[in-house]
Amino acid sequence: MKNKRGEIGIIIFFFAIFTVIILGFIGVITIGIIDIASDELTPIMEDLGMVGDTNVSEAAGYTFGTVDKVVQALPWILGFSYVMALIFTLVFVIVVGYNPHPAFMGFYIALMLLLIFGAVIMSNMYQDIYTGTDELALRLQEQTLVSYMLLHSPFILTLIAVIGGIIMFSRISTATGGGFGV
């Protein structure tokens, strides 16, 4: 009995890589905007002073000050998560043990070219925002790890796709009755 699950593993692999780069782009922009809002809001809230018998500045220092510290740590958390997600895509290929038929190598190369074009587009969009002179560009320039990964994403994702393809297509088939059911 042949395994009838199809060649969906290749599509899942590239979908995971595309999802990682898109979520990384959205995450870095979102964290930049949250950082701007936090830097504007925290000093205002900490300078409110006394309201009746309550020291609102002290309460705001505990709340907004703590939130601001977490917001300042978010770029490194996002950077670590982004790198781990890229590593997970390769671990996915190794753990799942997916072994496509060699005839799908052309399909894999076509998806890899699509991945490169998508990574170039995302990298160029990020670079346009990153090289600006506005407040968001300054926040993005402070996020060194994710900025480096997004700016160099065509090379990084190509390297991951090539390594994933080598792992996928170089495995010995586990099909019975000859290699790949032939």
Q: Mean of the per-residue pLDDT values for the chain?
A: 85
Q: Which residues is 50 bridged to in the sheet?
A: 55
Total of domains in the chain: 1
CB 149 within 8 A of CB 82: yes
Tell me what pLDDT residue 173 has.
60
Tell me what pLDDT residue 180 has.
52
Whether residue 12 is contained in a domain is answered as no
Tell me what pLDDT residue 96 has.
78
Burial pattern 103-114, b for ≥16 Cβ within 10 A else e, equals: eeeeebeebbee
Whether residue 6 is contained in a domain is answered as no
* Dihedrals phi, psi of 56, to nearest 5 degrees: -70, -30
Distance in angstroms (rounded) separating the CA atoms of residues 122 and 136: 17
Res. 177: pLDDT tops 50? no
- The domain in which residue 106 lies consists of 17-39+73-173
Tell me what pLDDT residue 95 has.
83
Whether residue 90 is contained in a domain is answered as yes
Instruction: Indicate the pLDDT class of residue 178, thresholds 50, 70 and 90.
Output: very low
Whether residue 30 is contained in a domain is answered as yes
Whether residue 67 is contained in a domain is answered as no
- Name the burial class of residue 39, with classes exposed (0-12), middle (13-18) and buried (19+) by CB atoms within 10 angstroms of its CB: middle
Tell me what pLDDT residue 93 has.
83
- Quick one: what percent of the chain has pLDDT higher than 70? 90
Tell me what pLDDT residue 3 has.
53
pLDDT digit string (tens) for 12-30? 889 999 999 999 999 999 9
Distance in angstroms (rounded) separating the CA atoms of residues 136 and 30: 10
CB 132 within 8 A of CB 6: no
Distance in angstroms (rounded) separating the CA atoms of residues 134 and 110: 38
What is the pLDDT averaged over residues 43-61? 78
Lowest mean pLDDT among 60-69, 152-161, 172-181: 172-181
Whether residue 44 is contained in a domain is answered as no
Whether residue 157 is contained in a domain is answered as yes
pTM of the predicted model as reported, rounded to 2 decimal places: 0.81
